[in-house]
């Protein structure tokens, strides 16, 4: 250990070709404390090898695998002598979970079960593995306009199917800490934005639609509130949590919240994007609300500030301009991930995906 940094970690990231996962993989590759970075991703609709195609480093390896395939997952842990797992692989979109919950239960709940059982199996072979379980503020449910923000002590009360599967995975992790004494931390973050986000989520969807001059669908009255954080700030918090867990600064089983201290209504977000692109807000269209739509998320990040000396660095104005510019200069990325060609290319490169 050097200072507060743990060295010589051999990391495995699940979901490293997704939005947050790809930013995390790049941060770990840039961090010499990590000897190995193995990215395990099933390349579902939201996972793109292009997100990591600019990584050229012998310490980095990509494995096209599903976390639901336990024998392959255990082999990777063994072969790469992994000492820490960053678990991000998930079905991550609330709207999709309302249409069909099955893949959410399979990946978010059963996939987490596979990871936990694999940690126990490798322990029997003498290999100890820590876990950073990346969860969400959605497990806390919804706030009223004057309620205090969620703290780590707020009771878990998921109100949509996606959030319920994430809460279930959090409970599985906690139960394995208590029952089998595994080493794990659970992180819960608010809404991320930034480059490489799949354009089903609010920010990239609105950027792309505004540029195309298409209608901008706002659910309900647009007064629902989210707390927005730039993806690189979230990634910084995830890496700090890992260091704190491995160095013993955090007790196994602890929860840490991350957020941007940047509450905005959806209408404010969309108006801001439209204004920064220089389009007209006549494009805004109010559409029927998302069923069970959580009214407000706000998150208290005092614990992360105090314990990890972490705080969000990117302010919204700079972050959203950077994000808009990224989408503007990456038309090819957008075209490839939204076209059938992308899936054909994946099939050719890696065989069938889920």
Query: Where do contacts with ligand NAD occur on this chain (CB under 6 A)?
Result: 14-15, 17-21, 40-44, 46-47, 66-68, 88-90, 92, 107, 111, 134, 136, 166, 189, 191-192, 198
**Of the listed 162, 193, 297, 327, which one is catalytic?**
162
Determine the interface stretch with ligand DAU among 92-100, 125-133, 140-148, 310-318 (rule: CB under 6 A). 92-100
Toward ligand NAD, which CB reaches closer, 5 or 72? 72
Which one of 23, 133, 201, 303 is in contact with ligand DAU (CB under 6 A)? 201
- What residues from 263 to 282 belong to the interface with ligand DAU (CB under 6 A)? 266
Least distance (Å) between residue 195 CB and ligand NAD:
12
Toward ligand NAD, which CB reaches closer, 107 or 160? 107
Transcribe 277-332 into DSSP letters. HT--GGGEEEEPPPTT---B--B--HHHHHHH-------HHHHHHHHHHHHHTTHH
Q: List Cβ<8 Å contacts ≥24 apart for 199-203.
A: 199/334, 199/337, 199/338, 200/46, 200/93, 200/95, 200/96, 201/93, 202/226, 202/266, 202/269, 202/270, 203/228, 203/269, 203/273, 203/320, 203/323
Choose among ligand NAD, ligand DAU, none what residue 55 binds, the Cβ cut-off being 5 to 8 Å by kind: none
Q: State how far the Cα of 220 lies from the Cα of 286, in Å rounded to an integer.
A: 6
**Of the listed 41, 138, 170, 294, which one is catalytic?**
138
Q: State how far the Cα of 155 lies from the Cα of 212, in Å rounded to an integer.
A: 42
- Centre a 10 Å sphere on the Cβ of residue 222 and count the other Cβ atoms it contains: 16
Determine the interface stretch with ligand DAU among 29-37, 56-64, 90-98, 100-108 (rule: CB under 6 A). 90-98
The verdict on 297 binding ligand DAU (CB under 6 A) reads yes
Residue 211 in contact with residue 204, Cβ under 8 Å?
no
339: exposed, middle or buried (C-beta count within 10 Å: 0-12, 13-18, 19+)?
exposed
**Of the listed 91, 137, 227, 294, which one is catalytic?**
137
Choose among ligand DAU, ligand NAD, none what residue 226 binds, the Cβ cut-off being 5 to 8 Å by kind: ligand DAU
What contacts 35, CB < 8 A, 6 or more positions away? 8, 9, 10, 59
Toward ligand NAD, which CB reaches closer, 5 or 103? 103
162 among known catalytic residues: yes
Tokens of 144: 């009223």
| The pairing of beta strand 225-230 with beta strand 263-265 | antiparallel
Choose among ligand NAD, ligand DAU, none what residue 237 binds, the Cβ cut-off being 5 to 8 Å by kind: none
- What residues from 308 to 347 belong to the interface with ligand DAU (CB under 6 A)? none
Considering just the CA atoms, what is the radius of gyration of the chain in Å?
Answer: 20
Residue 254 in contact with residue 185, Cβ under 8 Å?
yes
Which one of 6, 21, 115, 138 is in contact with ligand DAU (CB under 6 A)? 138
137 among known catalytic residues: yes
Which one of 41, 80, 137, 263 is in contact with ligand DAU (CB under 6 A)? 137
Give me the active site residues, please: 137-138, 162
> Residues in the site for ligand DAU, rule: CB under 6 A?
92-94, 136-138, 190-191, 201-202, 205, 217-219, 224, 226, 266, 290, 297
């Amino acid at each position: 250990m050097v200072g507060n940094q743990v060295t010589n970690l051999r990391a495995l990231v699940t979901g490293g070709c997704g939005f947050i996962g790809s930013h995390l993989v790049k941060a770990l590759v840039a961090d010499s404390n990590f000897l190995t970075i193995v990215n395990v991703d099933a390349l579902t609709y939201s996972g793109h090898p292009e997100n990591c195609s600019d990584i050229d480093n012998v310490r980095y390896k990509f494995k096209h695998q599903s976390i639901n395939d336990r024998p392959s997952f255990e082999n990777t842990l063994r072969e790469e002598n992994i000492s820490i797992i960053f678990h991000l692989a998930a079905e991550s979109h609330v709207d999709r979970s309302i249409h069909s919950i099955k893949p959410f239960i399979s990946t978010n709940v059963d996939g987490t079960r596979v990871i936990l059982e694999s940690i126990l199996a490798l322990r029997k072979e003498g290999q100890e593995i820590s876990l950073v379980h990346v969860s969400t503020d959605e497990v806390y449910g919804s706030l009223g306009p004057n309620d205090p923000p969620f703290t780590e002590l707020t009771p878990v009360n998921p109100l949509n199917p996606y959030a319920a599967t994430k809460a279930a995975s959090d409970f599985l992790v906690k139960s394995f800490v208590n029952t089998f004494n595994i080493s794990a931390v659970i992180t819960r973050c608010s809404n991320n934005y930034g480059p490489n986000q799949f354009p089903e989520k609010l920010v990239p969807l609105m950027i792309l639609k505004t540029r195309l001059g298409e209608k901008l669908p706002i659910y309900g009255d647009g007064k629902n509130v989210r707390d927005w954080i730039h993806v690189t700030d979230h990634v910084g918090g995830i890496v700090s949590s890992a260091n704190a867990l491995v160095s013993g600064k955090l007790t196994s089983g602890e929860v840490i919240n991350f957020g941007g201290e940047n509450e905005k209504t959806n209408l404010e977000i969309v108006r801001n994007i439209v204004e920064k692109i220089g389009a007209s807000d006549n494009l805004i269209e109010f559409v029927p609300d998302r069923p069970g739509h959580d009214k407000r998320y706000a998150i208290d990040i005092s614990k992360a500030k105090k314990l990890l000396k972490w705080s969000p660095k990117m302010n919204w104005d700079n972050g959203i301009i950077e994000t808009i510019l990224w989408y503007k200069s990456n038309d090819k990325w957008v075209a490839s991930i939204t076209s059938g060609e992308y899936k054909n290319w994946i099939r050719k490169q890696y065989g069938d995906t889920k």
